[in-house]
Amino acid sequence: MTPPSDTDDTDPGPLVPRDRTAHPVALDPDYKTSVTRAPSQPLLSMDSTPSEETGPRFGHSLVGPQDNNLILNFTGTPAIGERILVHGRVRDEFGRPVPETLIEIWQANAGGRYRHVKDTYFAPLDPNFGGCGRTLTDSEGRYRFLTIRPGAYPWPNRGNDWRPMHIHFSVFGHSFGQRLITQMYFEGDPLIHRCPIAQTIRDRSQLDTLVAPLDMAMSRPLDFLAWRFDITLRGRRQTMFENRPEGL
């Protein structure tokens, strides 16, 4: 943990209220587990407070040199699968970069199997693939991971549901109220539009932002293909006067 360095934020206002239409519906009968886990009462809305405007910060001493290389970071011997680079930028709703923030990812292996005590799918574990990585964004909000392309896999929901190839992303931002977990999909995967979890996002243009395009410019010949995934976090209203008591 390091103290915040954002001395440039002179008098930031509250977090911009979350636009819930940008997000999935909470209850979707086609995603059966959501039926008993979605709140039925409205959320209580308020301006954010210091409890949500502050948040944990993580420093470079936390992150190991191989933490963002999932091909090598489990045993040092390369994992099996299609080698890929996943990269992008983290910014806020106003387009400002979010520097020095922690991103964590986790995923299935090339056969669609997770290294988790509860995953019992037929596909074998790869002894050289753990399936998790983390990194800090740089001063311009950029990040990169080397990994293998995860496989699609079946899951118990409706009769024959399959998850598209995906990588789970966890992003902190600089405020606890910016906290976000999402999933990145791959351009061209025909399972995306059959997936009840992806389809919990009703706004097609919003779902499209989770579908990473192939990025040939960042691909390395004879080595790996690249996929680009940019992430937008909530911003904070920038106001000069509204936080001050009346009369000042």
Partner 1 sequence: MRHRETPSQTAGPYVHIGCMPTHAGNPGSFATEIGTSPIRDGAAGEIVTITGAVLDGQGLAVRDAMIETWQADARGRFPGDPRADPNVIGFARLAADGATGEFTLRTVKPGRTPARGGGTQAPHISLWIVARGINTGLQTRLYFEGDTADDPLLARIEHRPRAETLIATRTGPGAFRFDIRLQGAGETVFLDL
- Least distance to partner 1, CB of residue 142, Å: 16
User: How far apart are the C-alpha atoms of 243 and 78, rounded to whole Å?
Assistant: 53
One character per residue 158-197, x = contact with partner 1 (rule: CB under 8 A): ----------x-x-----xx-xxxxx-------------x
Can you tell me which of 12, 99, 142, 209 binds partner 1, judged by CB under 8 A? 209
Residue 62 CA to its chain's centroid (Å): 19
Residue 76 CA to its chain's centroid (Å): 25
Is 31 labeled as catalytic in the residue annotation? no
Decide if residue 16 touches partner 1 (CB under 8 A): yes
168, 194, 228, 237: the catalytic one is 168
Is 121 labeled as catalytic in the residue annotation? no
User: How far apart are the C-alpha atoms of 168 and 134, rounded to whole Å?
Assistant: 11
Toward partner 1, which CB reaches closer, 181 or 222? Answer: 181
Can you tell me which of 9, 54, 127, 193 binds partner 1, judged by CB under 8 A? 54
Decide if residue 56 touches partner 1 (CB under 8 A): yes
Nearest to 129 by CA among 77, 68, 165: 77
Toward partner 1, which CB reaches closer, 75 or 220? Answer: 75
Can you tell me which of 71, 110, 112, 134 binds partner 1, judged by CB under 8 A? 134
Nearest to 184 by CA among 230, 235, 240: 230
Decide if residue 36 touches partner 1 (CB under 8 A): yes
- Interacting span for partner 1 (CB under 8 A) from 24-32, 79-87, 142-150, 219-227: 24-32
Q: Whats the size of the chain, residue-wise?
A: 248
Pairing of strands 12-15, 236-238: antiparallel
87, 89, 149, 163: the catalytic one is 163
* Residue 37 structure tokens: 């886990």
Decide if residue 233 touches partner 1 (CB under 8 A): yes
* Residue 193 CA: distances (Å) to CA of 30, 162, 227: 13, 11, 19
Decide if residue 31 touches partner 1 (CB under 8 A): yes
User: How far apart are the C-alpha atoms of 227 and 187, rounded to whole Å?
Assistant: 9
Decide if residue 247 touches partner 1 (CB under 8 A): no
Can you tell me which of 9, 11, 47, 82 binds partner 1, judged by CB under 8 A? 47
Please, are residues 214 and 87 in contact by the beta-carbon 8 Å criterion?
Answer: no
User: How far apart are the C-alpha atoms of 210 and 182, rounded to whole Å?
Assistant: 8
Rule CB under 8 A: which of 67-126 touch partner 1? Answer: 67, 73-74, 91-95, 102, 104-106, 114-119
Among all residues, which ones are annotated catalytic?
114, 153, 163, 166, 168
